[in-house]
């Protein structure tokens, strides 16, 4: 009895202290399980430390560790802020939470497009609030010395096709990809030049005992899927990250670059989008070129022609080294959204000055098309398509082409506009004038013609003029309207009344 008494007392005191702590303090590691729109389970961890009425720590979403920049506690309620950086964009996210013993009810901001905030209950799994990164114990990758990866000879004109992300997001599977391939053929998109059917994030499963990455249950047999797509005369694309995890927190290619490239070659993959994502947690920004080069080399060694698409949001002046790592295209900005503001900001503001870096085999990528996704008017989608064509941008439709309207199909399949994008000379167009909200963009074409877009970014109709002197032309030149499919006649300079957010896209004969 005598021996037991002190131990009993200490144990009781510890238990009492824990209950007190649990009831009165936010300090600890808290885990909430969240179900994604995909049906997957995902964890968010809150590493919290309370000191008086201040709260510090971090939030771990998948692999994204975000430090709390400000946190305040009032009674059993807390509010904290994290700043999330994505490419050049920055977003402040505010969390509100209420403490009830060992349960923390956290009001999470909405994830993904149009997702509403929701409450989740987090459990305290430790009374230690110190942040621990999930990559803390990963083996370090070697950073190869820089060299030039030879041109793979692909993408002599900007790649055309379709990608799952903009419309389907995480809800993409084998059946849908097959139906999209069918629709590419049936809708006439294939005949118009759209060739690549690209699966974006969320196809990945686990690695097997040999390290070979397997697809998840949504994609039972990638080789069979590639065969199906190939039988339609189309090509299949896939997605990965140089980081340990993809943006959507699926398995990435970190330290498995060579084996993954071989796996994709065996399946019959024709296109890889390689997205920086969690690589930001394991590499320095200045490692980026070497890291992308490693996959460029791996694809080459895998021995199958695979278009190599770099996705790192335009960081580290990618346009200056994209081709040297074997890249056929590189994103120039953060993600596009299906609205005028996002599309016009990316298309008009963020491509300025990049034209000298584009050419056959290597293209600036202002991101995938939103045409037909419903967030813009038909006039705005025509502006989107016209601008991307003038920019010699990759044309990757991002809509549900199984159910698209005739109007969407006409915008995507306008052969005369596609011909501007796909022009053999491979020049990226540029802005030649701007007056208020009126911008004139022009692209020199093979043989000496010009494509000219008269764009109205404003809210009321405006008359816009293109002067031949800006195109190094003179005299009367024939003008054809590429949306009306009409020869307009011959003009000395050309003006058109352009509707708000609209475009007049013309081809001017040399």
Q: Point out which residues bind ligand GLA (CB under 6 A).
A: 165, 200-201, 246-248, 275, 311, 335
Per this entry, what is the length of the chain?
510
Find the catalytic residue in 174, 200, 297, 335: 335
Distance of CA 45 to the CA centre of its chain: 25
In 156-272, which residue ranges form alpha helices assigned H by DSSP? Answer: 165-168, 174-186, 189-192, 222-231, 257-267
> Is the Cβ of residue 280 or residue 289 nearer to ligand GLA in the bound state?
280
> Is the Cβ of residue 56 or residue 202 nearer to ligand GLA in the bound state?
202
Encode 179-189: b = buried (16+ Cβ within 10 Å), e = exposed. ebbbbbeebeb
The minimum distance between CB 444 and ligand GLA, in angstroms, equals 30
The minimum distance between CB 59 and ligand GLA, in angstroms, equals 19
SS3 150: coil
Encode 364-387: b = buried (16+ Cβ within 10 Å), e = exposed. bbbbbbbbbbebbeebbbbbbbbb
Find the catalytic residue in 200, 270, 275, 449: 275
The minimum distance between CB 275 and ligand GLA, in angstroms, equals 5
Q: Residue 208 — φ and ψ, nearest 5°?
A: -80, -175
CA distance 232 to 156: 22
β-strands 64-74, 103-108: how paired? unpaired
Residue 444, both tokens? 């020199």
> Is the Cβ of residue 157 or residue 204 nearer to ligand GLA in the bound state?
204
Give residues with Cβ within 8 angstroms of 2, minimum separation 6.
Answer: none
The minimum distance between CB 415 and ligand GLA, in angstroms, equals 27
Q: Are 243 and 63 in contact (CB under 8 A)?
A: yes
CA distance 385 to 391: 10
Q: Residue 222 — φ and ψ, nearest 5°?
A: -65, -35
> Is the Cβ of residue 64 or residue 431 nearer to ligand GLA in the bound state?
64
> Is the Cβ of residue 234 or residue 311 nearer to ligand GLA in the bound state?
311
The residue to which tokens 């293209």 are assigned: 363
> Is the Cβ of residue 203 or residue 357 nearer to ligand GLA in the bound state?
203
SS3 per residue for 347-379: HHHCCCCCHHHCECCEEEECCCCCCCCCCCCHH
> Is the Cβ of residue 28 or residue 244 nearer to ligand GLA in the bound state?
244
The minimum distance between CB 162 and ligand GLA, in angstroms, equals 13
335 is catalytic: yes
CA distance 240 to 245: 9
State the DSSP H helix or E strand holding residue 489, giving kind and residue range, or none if neither: strand 486-491
Closest to 309 (Cα-Cα) out of 325, 320, 298, 288: 325
> Is the Cβ of residue 181 or residue 248 nearer to ligand GLA in the bound state?
248
CA distance 255 to 427: 37
Vertex 249: Cα angle to 244 and 250 (nearest 5): 75
> Is the Cβ of residue 275 or residue 355 nearer to ligand GLA in the bound state?
275
Q: Are 236 and 185 in contact (CB under 8 A)?
A: no
Distance of CA 356 to the CA centre of its chain: 23
143 by Cβ neighbours in 10 Å (0-12 / 13-18 / 19+) ranks as: middle
182 is catalytic: no
The minimum distance between CB 389 and ligand GLA, in angstroms, equals 20
Q: How many CB atoms lie within 10 A of CB 202?
A: 25
The minimum distance between CB 154 and ligand GLA, in angstroms, equals 20
Catalytic residue set: 275, 335
């Amino acid at each position: 009895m005598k021996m037991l008494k002190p131990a009993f007392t200490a144990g009781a005191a510890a238990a009492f202290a824990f209950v007190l702590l649990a009831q009165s303090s936010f300090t600890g590691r808290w885990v909430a399980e969240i179900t994604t729109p995909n049906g997957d389970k995902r964890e968010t961890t809150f590493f919290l430390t309370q000191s008086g009425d201040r709260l510090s720590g971090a939030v771990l979403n998948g692999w994204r560790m975000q430090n709390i920049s400000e946190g305040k506690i009032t009674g059993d309620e807390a509010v904290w802020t994290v700043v999330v950086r994505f490419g050049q964009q920055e977003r402040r996210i505010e969390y509100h939470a209420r403490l009830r013993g060992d349960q923390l009810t956290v009001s999470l901001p909405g994830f993904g497009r149009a997702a509403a905030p929701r409450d989740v209950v987090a459990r305290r799994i430790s009374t230690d609030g110190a942040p621990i990164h999930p990559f803390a114990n990963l083996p370090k990758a070697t950073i190869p010395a820089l060299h030039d990866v030879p041109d793979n000879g692909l993408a002599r004109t900007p790649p055309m096709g379709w990608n799952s992300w903009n419309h389907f997001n995480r809800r993409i599977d084998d059946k849908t990809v097959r139906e999209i391939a069918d629709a590419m053929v049936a809708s006439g998109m294939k005949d118009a030049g759209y060739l690549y059917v690209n699966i974006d994030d969320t196809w990945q499963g686990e690695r097997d005992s040999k390290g070979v990455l397997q697809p998840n249950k949504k994609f039972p047999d990638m080789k069979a899927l590639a065969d199906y797509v190939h039988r339609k005369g189309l090509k299949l694309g896939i997605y990965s990250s140089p980081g340990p995890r993809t943006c959507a927190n699926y398995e990435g290619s970190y330290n498995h670059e060579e084996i993954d490239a071989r796996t994709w070659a065996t399946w019959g993959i024709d296109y890889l989008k390689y997205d920086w994502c969690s690589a930001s947690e394991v590499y320095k920004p200045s490692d980026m070129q070497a890291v992308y080069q490693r996959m460029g080399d791996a694809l080459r060694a895998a021995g199958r022609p695979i278009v190599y698409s770099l996705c790192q949001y335009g960081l580290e002046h990618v346009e200056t080294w994209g081709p040297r790592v074997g890249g056929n295209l590189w994103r120039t900005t953060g993600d596009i959204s299906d609205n005028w503001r996002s599309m016009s900001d990316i298309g008009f503001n963020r491509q300025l000055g990049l034209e000298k870096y584009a050419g056959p085999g290597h293209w600036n990528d202002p991101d995938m098309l939103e045409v037909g996704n419903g967030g813009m008017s038909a006039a705005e989608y025509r502006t989107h398509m016209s601008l991307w064509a003038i920019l010699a941008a990759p044309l990757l439709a991002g809509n549900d082409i199984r159910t698209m309207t005739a109007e969407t199909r006409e915008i995507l399949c306008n052969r005369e506009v596609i011909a501007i994008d796909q022009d053999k000379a491979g020049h990226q167009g540029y802005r030649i004038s701007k007056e208020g909200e009126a911008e004139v963009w022009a692209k020199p074409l093979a043989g000496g013609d010009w494509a000219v877009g008269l764009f109205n970014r404003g809210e009321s109709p405006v008359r816009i003029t293109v002067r031949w002197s800006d195109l190094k032309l003179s005299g009367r030149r024939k003008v054809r309207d590429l949306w009306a499919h009409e020869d307009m006649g011959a003009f000395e300079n050309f003006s058109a009344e352009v509707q708000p957010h609209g475009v007049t896209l013309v081809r001017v004969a040399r």
